[in-house]
Structure 1
Amino acid sequence: MFSIDCKPWFFISSKVFHVKIQCYLSFSLTLPFDLFSFFYIIGYLGIYVEWKKYELDRILQNIIDEHKESKTTTETGKQEANEDLVDILLKLQKHGNFGFPLIDNNIKAIILNIFGGGGETSSIAIEWAM
């Protein structure tokens, strides 16, 4: 069903989506109103969100590192014709003459915006259809 190039991206995108959904669901409006448990939950949510942020950062850094590694192997070997958004951003990072540096954290933010924008657009389309 999926090509060889699509399988890793599908797995990574589903993992990123799963982590984002877990963070969104952790902020439920049905939290108990007991003051002690409220502070306990807030403390737990802070730790939970920080851990998920670290996990998401690690996943995105792995994506960037894999693209950097594949780019060095394709430069020594034959040139690959397929480029995606991360390859283009890494090329801009290497050769871009901007007024600001394009660092890995900027690339991670762009990837997350692409994932978030795709999900938000679909949900708004479904909402309007209803």
Structure 2
Amino acid sequence: MGTCTLIQAALPRILNDVPEEFFDKTKKHLEETSSVMFERLSAIPCLKPIKPVGAMYMLVGIDMEKLEGMKDDHDFTRQLMAEESVFLLPASVFLYPNFFRVVLLAPVELMVEATERISVFCQRHMRKESS
């Protein structure tokens, strides 16, 4: 979990030689994907996304009480991968149980498709009394 010495050596050149437009484009993309993901994930009843500020990932809370057949974020992410081919990182690895982390770097079209698959998965596993 320590810093990568290769990146440390490259940082001065990256920060000095990469055109500012690259960073502007990257920040704009992250703002767009975070807005799209926040809006779409907020519409799923068992999920509670936290809109990032200056990050390239988003944490999303999972209301496990509303879902059947899984006990925690590990079960949720494992079953989502198996059933819908969407990979999310269980945030309990960062000491945030019953959250998952999604990286916001993919193209918006892929992020939209991922949220559609997550929605279908959650609907399939929603407890009858929670629907």
The structure with more strand, counted as a fraction of residues: 2
Q: Max radius of gyration: which structure?
A: 1
TM-score, normalised relative to structure 1? 0.29
Relative to total residues, which structure has the larger helix share, 1 or 2?
A: 1
TM-score by length of 2: 0.28
